Amino acid sequence: MNNLLKFVACLCLIFSSTSCSLEPLEGQNSGNSTKISNATATTFCDNQDPQSRLINNGTIAYTFTIIDIDQNVIEILNVAPGTSSSWSSFNEGQTIFSVDGSAYNVSDSKVVLDMSTCTKVEIVINNLNEVNEPIILTLD
């Protein structure tokens, strides 16, 4: 019985090692992976409305207001220190981003950008309570 167990284990080892085949992977799946990446690239941004958010790395709370070219208020968000707002969508066109600090010794800031579809903008407040240059991301 002891030899039978060794024989079965040896037989399984031989069977599993002979069932493997060595074939080159070049050219077999590269066509499929290219198709997948192309499909992902074309569906990633399908005329999405522009989006924006405020990242508050400062020490005070800020009010983040998004205003369109016709002076319509799109969204008003209160952003606490050390947090960021959620992404807000709006129509394309010239947009005003107003950042108002809750302290008197902090200057308020307005940024005007021409936003198009498939565009995101991050407005960052640094640790000195100053507005950095906006980070504009274009989605492909």
**What's residue 16's pLDDT?**
55
**What's residue 12's pLDDT?**
54
Of 8 and 19, the one with more pLDDT:
8
**What CATH number is associated with residue 125?**
2.60.40
For residue 1, pLDDT over 90 is answered with no
Q: Is residue 63 part of a domain?
A: yes
Q: Is residue 69 part of a domain?
A: yes
Close Cβ partners of 126 (under 8 Å, ≥ 6 residues apart): 57, 58, 132
**What's residue 8's pLDDT?**
63
- pLDDT by residue (tens digit) across 73-131? 999 999 999 999 999 999 999 999 999 998 888 888 999 999 999 999 999 999 999 99
Q: Is residue 101 part of a domain?
A: yes
For the chain, how many structural domains are there in total? 1
Of 37 and 44, the one with more pLDDT:
44
User: Alpha-carbon distance 129 to 123, whole Å?
Assistant: 12
For residue 18, pLDDT over 90 is answered with no
Angle at 71 between CA 51 and CA 131, to 5 degrees: 55
Q: Is residue 46 part of a domain?
A: no
131 with 64: CB under 8 angstroms?
no
- pLDDT by residue (tens digit) across 49-64? 999 999 999 999 999 9
Q: Is residue 61 part of a domain?
A: yes
**What's residue 134's pLDDT?**
95
Supply the range of the domain harboring residue 104.
51-138
